Amino acid sequence: MNDMWKRYVLWFAQEHIEFRVSEIESLLSLFSIKMKYQEKPKDLEPYWIVEFLSEDDAKLLTNRSVSLRTCLELWGYENSLPALHQTLQSNTGILAQYFKPSKSFKVEVETFGNHFTQKEKVEKIETFSYLPVEGPVDLKNPDITLQYIEYYGTRANNPPQLPYKVFFGRWVADGLRQLIKKLSLKTRKFIGNTSMDPQLSLLMANQAKIWTGDLVLDPFVGSGSLLVAAAEFGAYVFGSDIDYLMLHGRTKPSRIKQQKRADDESIRANMKQYNLEHKYVDVLVNDFAMVFWKDAFEFDAIVTDPPYGIREATERVGTEKTNYVVSEEHLATHVPAKIEYGIPSIYADLLNFSAKHLKIGGRLVCWFPVFREDYSEQCLPIHPCLKLMANSEQVLSKVTSRRLLTYEKERHPTLDEQNIEHISIQDFREKYFVVREETRKERRLREAATRKENWEKYKKCG
């Protein structure tokens, strides 16, 4: 069995580094791919040296990942170019199978942490003249693409004179990086102030293990960015939100130069823009705190970014008045009042809903805001039916961050577990405004002290 394993290098984009492992592990699980680490990956390094049982597995993984730039069948991996040449020259007999007279080829030179001129790249290519190539060179559409990569570390402003590592191999597949540009918010029809970045939306969809034909829900849908990503991977998408104006495209435009929203701005318009309208089920104006779905209704995945009460309101239908009744004559035109929907209540409802309405093995992927100084795994929301599979941090400021949490449903809830009312987590919103006010006060005091100091200096000079 060991003889069947073949070595590859997975080369990542140097963005959202924290999410690499979670995405790759989710995709390995989705496709039932076996992968071995030849070396334990280091956090900041953009490459993993791994082994797969087949090239098809390597392609399947890479073609779905948005973290990966490319995957190479690794022929040589050394600390210096002379050592790499020695390794390749000792294996030219094995490599000859790829260089048939009928097979065209090209060689590409890449650097990480440094820059080569075109002349320098050509000089590097010429050092591989010993390879047993027989076919013609084709720079546009070759049968085989070979890549030589030099790695100079992650300090691009001060690279070493010589590379730390050099790699040589045959190109196998590229990741889905082009999809990030296609789904750019800059060119999207309908966006809001909190529309999710396309790369993060796609990462969330991958961690949810979304596949063709899945039914996916975003219960805090906003402008629908997460639905777009899920539909790109073949899911049928459903959304709900309490914000009537947002779902009907009547909120204030988010683009600076846009004075008024177009009449056709909507989540459906986004789906139509990307030729995904056939994957769009519907979006509903709905209070997530109220029972809406039939008990037996199940989703394959729930992917969402609940409101934190900072840039968007955390509201639910309700009133502070006691024994409040709407008269029958006003019922037809009545607009329900709203009250604060605290973050502990939001996540209690979200986990209860997921435990009830996810299929077994289905995933909930959601963001959770934290204060970095207070963070520990014990502060995360939990439910006995949901297993925490991944937990990745995106830093927002010196004091705050948000964690991307991925849960998988292991079993159906018992009667006692269907409505867990209290989850002991901190209300991020309450502390956020306290901290912000303290920060403002400190700044005012500091500015006052600076003005006083400058005034004293001015009096002395005068």
| 8 A C-beta contact, residue 265 and residue 190 | yes
Q: How confident is the model at residue 296 (pLDDT cuts 50, 70, 90)?
A: very high
Task: Report which of residues 231 and 309 the model is more confident about.
Answer: 231
Q: How confident is the model at residue 53 (pLDDT cuts 50, 70, 90)?
A: very high
Q: Find the range with the poorest average confidence among 16-25, 78-87, 126-135.
A: 126-135
pLDDT tens for 21-31 read 999 999 999 99
- pLDDT reported for residue 238: 97
| Burial class of residue 397 (count of CB atoms within 10 Å of its CB; 0-12, 13-18, 19+) | exposed
- pLDDT reported for residue 39: 85
Angstrom CA distances, 211 to 137, 234, 352, 367, stand at: 39, 6, 24, 21
Rounded CA-CA distance 289/315 in Å is 9
- pLDDT reported for residue 202: 98
Q: How confident is the model at residue 14 (pLDDT cuts 50, 70, 90)?
A: very high
User: Does the pLDDT at position 2 exceed 60?
Assistant: no
Tokens representing residue 210 in the block: 């979304």
User: Does the pLDDT at position 159 exceed 70?
Assistant: yes
- pLDDT reported for residue 1: 42
| Burial class of residue 357 (count of CB atoms within 10 Å of its CB; 0-12, 13-18, 19+) | buried
- pLDDT reported for residue 334: 63
Phi/psi of residue 368, each to 5°? -140, 120
User: Does the pLDDT at position 13 exceed 60?
Assistant: yes
Task: Report which of residues 109 and 444 the model is more confident about.
Answer: 109
Rounded CA-CA distance 67/14 in Å is 8
Q: Please name the fold of domain 2-175.
A: VC0802-like (3.30.2130)
Task: Report which of residues 42 and 305 the model is more confident about.
Answer: 305
Task: Report which of residues 330 and 290 the model is more confident about.
Answer: 290
| 8 A C-beta contact, residue 26 and residue 209 | yes
Mean pLDDT of 281-296: 92
- pLDDT reported for residue 55: 96
Identify the CATH number of the domain defined by range 182-426.
Answer: 3.40.50.150
Mean pLDDT of 384-392: 96
Rounded CA-CA distance 207/24 in Å is 8
Task: Tell me which range, 274-278, 380-384, 440-444, is most confidently predicted by mean pLDDT.
Answer: 274-278
Nearest CA-CA partner of 267 in 289, 292, 287, 238? 238
| Burial class of residue 44 (count of CB atoms within 10 Å of its CB; 0-12, 13-18, 19+) | exposed
Other residues' Cβ atoms within 10 Å of the Cβ of residue 311: 9
- pLDDT reported for residue 341: 86
Mean pLDDT of 295-313: 88
- pLDDT reported for residue 19: 97
- For 92: left if phi > 0, alpha if psi spans -120 to 50, otherwise beta; the answer is alpha
| Burial class of residue 424 (count of CB atoms within 10 Å of its CB; 0-12, 13-18, 19+) | exposed
pLDDT tens for 179-226 read 999 999 999 999 998 899 999 999 999 999 999 999 999 999 999 999
The full 3-state SS of the chain, as one line of letters, equals CHHHCEEEEEEECCCCHHHHHHHHHHHHHHHCCCEEECCCCCCCCCEEEEEECCHHHHHHHHHHCCCEEEEEEEEEEECCHHHHHHHHHCCHHHHHHHCCCCCCEEEEEEEECCCCCHHHHHHHHHCCCCCCCCCCECCCCCCEEEEEEEECCCCCCCCCCCCCEEEEEEEEEECCHHHHHHCCCCCCCCCCCCCCCHHHHHHHHHHCCCCCCCEEEECCCCCCHHHHHHHHCCCEEEEEECCHHHHCCCCCCCCCCCCCCCCCCCHHHHHHHCCCHHHEEEEEECCCCCCCCCCCCCEEEEEECCCCCCCCCCEEECCCCCCCCCCHHHHCCCCCCEEECCHHHHHHHHHHHHHHHEEEEEEEEEEEEEEHHHCCHHHCCCECCEEEEEEEEEECCCCEEEEEEEEEECCCCCHHHCCCCCCCCCCHHHHHHHHHHHHHHHHHHHHHHHHHHHHHHHHHHC
Q: Find the range with the poorest average confidence among 83-97, 274-288, 430-444.
A: 430-444
pLDDT tens for 341-354 read 888 889 999 999 99
Other residues' Cβ atoms within 10 Å of the Cβ of residue 245: 11
Rounded CA-CA distance 30/316 in Å is 35
Q: How confident is the model at residue 12 (pLDDT cuts 50, 70, 90)?
A: very high
Tokens representing residue 445 in the block: 């005091």
Other residues' Cβ atoms within 10 Å of the Cβ of residue 410: 12
Kindly report the average pLDDT of the chain as a whole number: 90
Angstrom CA distances, 291 to 35, 294, 342, 352, stand at: 43, 8, 17, 11
Nearest CA-CA partner of 128 in 95, 174, 160? 95
pLDDT tens for 400-454 read 999 999 999 999 999 888 887 766 677 777 777 777 666 666 667 676 777 777 7
pLDDT tens for 114-144 read 999 999 999 999 999 999 888 999 999 999 9
- pLDDT reported for residue 437: 66
| 8 A C-beta contact, residue 406 and residue 429 | no
CATH 3.40.50.150 range(s) for the chain read: 182-426
Q: At what angle do helices 198-207 and 225-232 cross, to 10 degrees?
A: 60
CATH 3.30.2130.30 range(s) for the chain read: 2-175
Nearest CA-CA partner of 205 in 277, 280, 275, 303? 303
